[in-house]
Structure formats: structure tokens, C-alpha cells
Amino acid sequence: MAEQAQILPGTLDLLILKAVSLGPLHGYGVLLRIGQISGSALEIEQGALYPALFRLVRQGLLKASWGTSENNRRAKFYELTTAGRKRLREETDGWNRLAAAMGSALAARAEEV
């Protein structure tokens, strides 16, 4: 198992949007997907997912519908709305810019200043 990192505040929403953008998922599936795409490097307490999911639904970024899971359990599935897709794009761009800026800032060496 890879070394785990605490997720930054505010990044959970982005991770959820990303996870769901790859196909409709139920809550537990979102967790698995995040674990899968982050190489299990991000630690999320399972319950903490739900307030975020409900918030995203209320903001109109996700929509939810009841369906059946692969092992035949009733579960609520989430998928991106158009607004959600747009938000994901914006936030991804923003994150990339921030990450690039942080990366180059932290990589600075004395002779470059």
C-alpha cells in the first residue's frame, strides 16, 4: 500500500466530481474509484463522503437516482450534470495551475533566485 496523504480541505469535492465523471457511481463506488485513480494514496473517512455528495447535489453539480449495484443491492447512483462537468473542467484547470506554481516554487534553488 502506498504511503497515504491527508487530503487538502476543499479537494474532496473535486475528487468526487472527477470520480463520477468516469461513469455513474454509488457512494461506496465513488470511494473505491478515488482509491483506484489516486493509487490508494488519499485517505478519506468513509462517512465524510456523504455530506460532500449531498452538498454537490444541492449545488446542482451532481444528480442522483436509485438503481441496483453489481452485486444486486439497491444503491443510489450519482452522475455529473452539465454544470458539474463545467465545474470539473474549471477546477481541474485551477488545480493544475496551482500545482504547477507550487511545484516550481518549492523546487526553487538558491542559485536561481
Closest CB to another protein among 49 and 88?
Answer: 49
Under the binding rule (CB under 8 A), the answer on residue 57 touching another protein is yes
CA atoms of 111 and 113, how far apart (whole Å): 6
Under the binding rule (CB under 8 A), the answer on residue 74 touching another protein is yes
Nearest approach in angstroms of CB 106 to another protein is 32
Nearest approach in angstroms of CB 23 to another protein is 16
Nearest approach in angstroms of CB 104 to another protein is 36
> Would you state the cell numbers that stand for residue 74, as one nine-digit string?
439497491
> Would you state the cell numbers that stand for residue 42, as one nine-digit string?
488519499
CA atoms of 106 and 113, how far apart (whole Å): 12
CA atoms of 66 and 107, how far apart (whole Å): 47
CA atoms of 93 and 87, how far apart (whole Å): 10
Under the binding rule (CB under 8 A), the answer on residue 55 touching another protein is yes
Binding site for another protein (CB under 8 A): 26-29, 45-48, 50-55, 57-58, 69, 71, 73-76
